[in-house]
Amino acid sequence: MSKNVAEYFACDVFNDEVMRARLPKAVYKAIKKTRKLGVPLDPTYADVVANAIKDWAIEHGATHYTHWFQPMTGSTAEKHDSFINPTDNGMIIMNFSGKQLVKGEPDASSFPSGGLRATCSARGYTAWDPTSFCFVKEGSLYIPTAYVSYTGEILDKKTPLLRSMDILSTQAVRILRLFGNTTATKVTSTVGPEQEYFLIDKKMYDAREDLIMTGRTLFGAMPPKGQELEDQYFANLKPRIGAYMADLDESLWRLGVFATTKHNEVAPAQHEMAPVFSTTNIATDQNELAMEVMEKLALKHNLVCLLHEKPFDGVNGSGKHNNWSMSTDDGQNLLDPGNTPMENLQFLTFLCAVIKGVDEYADLLRISASSAGNDHRLGANEAPPAIISIFMGEELQGVLDALVSGGTYVSESQTFKIGVDALPDFPKDSTDRNRTSPFAFTGNRFEFRMVGSSDNIACPNHMLNTIVASELCEIADKMESVPASEFDVTLKSMLAEIVTKHKRVIFNGNGYSDEWVEEAAKRGLPNYKTTVDCVPHYADEKNVALFEKFGIFTKAEIEARVEILLENYSKTINIEALTMIDMSKKKYIPACLTYSKELADAIAVKESVEICADVEKDLAKQIGELTSKAYKATSNLAEATAAAASITNIPDMATAYKENVIPIMDELRAAVDALEVMMPSSSWPVPAYSDIIFNV
């Protein structure tokens, strides 16, 4: 394989370059129009496109095709069918029709539907998404698709994202027309998701039932060293990690993923991969693909890639920073303030729409990052708090303050002087970066930092798109009838009113501080600490009205998602609790009893020859007491878990797991972790943190 990236980049992707070369000119122009403008593709072209894709895929080693979709399980799904068709002489031909390209019919009965579909109602449909490129992987042609039920309900994560992109484009173009832009015909939301992950040795993984079953360690005492020396972040890559990252880059580049950044993260064994931004649809597909490749490729290096938000207690967890912006098809980034943001009314209009939307729909953004795994991460001194706020930075804050006061803001552009003759001076950025803010402006985009590392980014992005589209619609409705002579004055007055009313959501300080929690409460900002706290608000009247107005979801589809999210939370905690019970009964308590017997034998031997056994007696007493605590907590956990699992009402079940099961899980872990510190490593039944996170 050539190491010239330009020679093999996207070589396994049926992209625009391949289409131009393989499709008739009229068909290529039609599909190009579909991709750029969202115009439906003429069905008569489907067979032509399908045949070209089939020939190309076979040349790249494909024998099968699959409609690749994103059900509400949170992962991707695929069913593979071969290209072969029998002939009369007992042989085969390789065939692939337009109908097979455009529509698939997977069994829909076993995917989460939140009560929208009965188990006996099995049929569902996958529909080709021509705005995302097909690709070949592991001998199959992958066709990105949307997924709906037989009766038309949305059962996936892609469909609402595609709808939200169309709605955002429509409303954003209305705003552009107000400012005299007649060339832009489409506005696209873009995102670059920074993907954090852990890599551990597979032997360590295989020895930990909790990692295998749940993706995180349910037990584990902190080693003498964690991340306190701050020597992991951006540190030199170990050879084994460097080799994995090099293979990862090549694998992703072949699939057209613009992986560009790789480095060590803050915690031991933690790393990051970040791509160049793309449209939210393509970025979502590619992030799902990247996570799959990361996990599979790790195994080839005898490693395991952990995408859980909090695989190890006591060190940082992993997020997926969602860098979101809006771009026009005539080349503008609508969140770029330019050199004079105070005079850039178009930028200020889009900025104020975001501010208003984030304040009014903070609950939806919190919901979009909710999961049992992310509950362990949000609010710790490593990730944004569960309180939604916006970081603006010094310069933009000054612009907004001037807008409200009716004054002017003059940018104090500065040059950063290092003070070393050999090093050049360079322009200083207009604002610092706030790592504690869940929603921070970072120059020409917003970084939504609450998203969990295992999350599908379709949800946070369809939320953002819809929220901002709604606010742009409201502004356009008011401004389209305003005479040109009054436009600037009226718009400035409206924007000043928005900032005044919604400035409570702007916070430029330390989001980790206790003072901010108190201040946020005074401001009336919601603080939904857990998934169980926030998810029911999905179906609040204002949220249902938002999604129904723009045709994203029906009320029934929203209520189904509430049920799916809470049921998934309950199942996750149930699996974790049962795993803890299993490990406690089969590993930890037997190991402690065995060691207690060794101590008892040692005490008996010493006392028989009149030698002091105070150390052994004290140790035996402490271990005995902790073992009793662990045994009692195990029994209590089994009882609480069974009680929660027996509840049929899903919101009540989720509440029971949160309030009754998790506290006992914490008690059991505390007892076992205390035992780990006292027991000899040779007697401890599983690898310790020091073995796992420092052994790669």
> Where residue 41 sits, what CATH number does that domain have?
3.10.20.70
Rounded CA separation 694/578 (Å): 28
Q: Is the pLDDT of residue 2 over 60?
A: no
- For 90, residues 6+ apart whose C-beta sits below 8 A from its C-beta are none
Which structure tokens are listed for 683?
Answer: 């007697």
Q: Report whether 286 contacts 461 (CB < 8 A).
A: no
Q: Is the pLDDT of residue 432 over 70?
A: no
Q: Examine the domain organization and report whether 480 and 347 are in the same domain.
A: yes
For 2, the 3-state DSSP assignment is coil
Q: Examine the domain organization and report whether 146 and 288 are in the same domain.
A: no
Q: Is the pLDDT of residue 1 over 60?
A: no
C-alpha closest to that of 641 among 567, 569, 564, 570: 570
Domain-located, residue 191: yes
Q: Examine the domain organization and report whether 402 and 431 are in the same domain.
A: yes
Of 98, 122, 155, which closes a domain?
A: 155
C-alpha closest to that of 359 among 475, 496, 508, 503: 503
Q: Examine the domain organization and report whether 380 and 459 are in the same domain.
A: yes
Give residue-wise pLDDT tens across range 181-195.
Answer: 999 999 999 999 999
Q: Is the pLDDT of residue 419 over 80?
A: no
> Where residue 688 sits, what CATH number does that domain have?
1.20.120.1560
**Mean pLDDT, to the nearest integer, of 640-662?**
98
1 compared with 368, residue with greater pLDDT: 368
How sure is the predictor about 430, in pLDDT bands with cuts at 50, 70 and 90? low
Give the containing element (helix H, strand E) for 515.
helix 514-523
Cα of 300 vs its chain's centroid, Å: 25
Q: Is the pLDDT of residue 568 over 80?
A: yes
Give residue-wise pLDDT tens across range 459-469.
Answer: 999 999 999 99
Domain-located, residue 218: yes
How sure is the predictor about 448, in pLDDT bands with cuts at 50, 70 and 90? very high
**SS3 per residue for 186-197:** CEEEEEEEEEEE
Q: Indicate if the alpha-carbon torsion angle 136, 142, 143, 145 is positive or negative.
A: negative
Rounded CA separation 277/189 (Å): 10
> What's the chain's average pLDDT?
92
Q: Is the pLDDT of residue 533 over 60?
A: yes
Give residue-wise pLDDT tens across range 34-47.
Answer: 887 777 788 889 99
Look at residue 40 in the predicted model and tell me its pLDDT: 79
Q: Examine the domain organization and report whether 539 and 600 are in the same domain.
A: no
Domain-located, residue 563: no
Phi-psi region of 153 (alpha: psi -120 to 50; beta: other; left: phi over 0): beta
Rounded CA separation 644/570 (Å): 9
Q: Report whether 650 contacts 563 (CB < 8 A).
A: yes
Helices (H), 255-338: 280-300
- For 29, 264, 371, 448, the CA distances from 279, given in Å and listed in that order, are 20, 27, 25, 16
Q: Exposed, middle or buried by CB within 10 Å (0-12, 13-18, 19+), for 181?
A: middle
Look at residue 413 in the predicted model and tell me its pLDDT: 61
Q: Is the pLDDT of residue 437 over 80?
A: yes
Rounded CA separation 238/514 (Å): 37
Domain-located, residue 558: no
Domain-located, residue 562: no
Domain-located, residue 41: yes
Rounded CA separation 346/608 (Å): 89
Q: Examine the domain organization and report whether 110 and 178 are in the same domain.
A: no
Of 101, 134, 155, which closes a domain?
A: 155
Domain count of the chain? 3
Give residue-wise pLDDT tens across range 394-415.
Answer: 888 988 988 898 887 776 666 6
Q: Examine the domain organization and report whether 96 and 219 are in the same domain.
A: no
Cα of 347 vs its chain's centroid, Å: 28
- Which residues are registered as beta bridge partners of 85? 93
- For 20, 32, 169, the CA distances from 29, given in Å and listed in that order, are 9, 5, 21
First CA to last CA across the chain, in angstroms? 27
Longest Cα pair distance anywhere in the chain, in angstroms? 105
How sure is the predictor about 426, in pLDDT bands with cuts at 50, 70 and 90? low
For 207, the 3-state DSSP assignment is coil
> Where residue 317 sits, what CATH number does that domain have?
3.30.590.10
Q: Examine the domain organization and report whether 221 and 255 are in the same domain.
A: yes
Rounded CA separation 118/108 (Å): 10
For 317, the 3-state DSSP assignment is coil
C-alpha closest to that of 143 among 47, 64, 89, 27: 64
**Mean pLDDT, to the nearest integer, of 541-568?**
97
Domain-located, residue 561: no
Look at residue 620 in the predicted model and tell me its pLDDT: 94
Q: Report whether 139 contacts 62 (CB < 8 A).
A: yes
Q: Examine the domain organization and report whether 544 and 583 are in the same domain.
A: no
C-alpha closest to that of 216 among 575, 558, 661, 497: 575
Question: What is the value of pTM for the model shown?
Answer: 0.94
Residue type, 165: M
Q: Report whether 409 contacts 402 (CB < 8 A).
A: yes
Q: Report whether 216 contacts 310 (CB < 8 A).
A: yes
The DSSP result for 36-96, as a single string, is HH-PPPPGGGHHHHHHHHHHHHHHTT--EEEEEB-BTTSS-B--EEESEEE-TTS-EEE--
Q: Examine the domain organization and report whether 414 and 464 are in the same domain.
A: yes
Q: Is the pLDDT of residue 108 over 70?
A: no
The DSSP result for 381-436, as a single string, is TTS--SB--EE--HHHHHHHHHHHHT--------EE----TTSPPEEPPSS---TT
- For 234, residues 6+ apart whose C-beta sits below 8 A from its C-beta are 263, 264
Give residue-wise pLDDT tens across range 151-176.
Answer: 888 989 999 999 999 999 999 999 99
DSSP secondary structure code for residue 267 in this structure: S
Q: Examine the domain organization and report whether 125 and 215 are in the same domain.
A: no
Look at residue 380 in the predicted model and tell me its pLDDT: 60
Instruction: Provide the residue range defining the domain that includes 119.
Output: 5-155
- Which residues are registered as beta bridge partners of 303? 201
- For 406, residues 6+ apart whose C-beta sits below 8 A from its C-beta are 496
Of 98, 124, 155, which closes a domain?
A: 155
Domain-located, residue 227: yes
β 187-201/303-306 pair status: antiparallel
Phi-psi region of 180 (alpha: psi -120 to 50; beta: other; left: phi over 0): left
Rounded CA separation 456/287 (Å): 8
Look at residue 429 in the predicted model and tell me its pLDDT: 63
Q: Examine the domain organization and report whether 450 and 512 are in the same domain.
A: yes
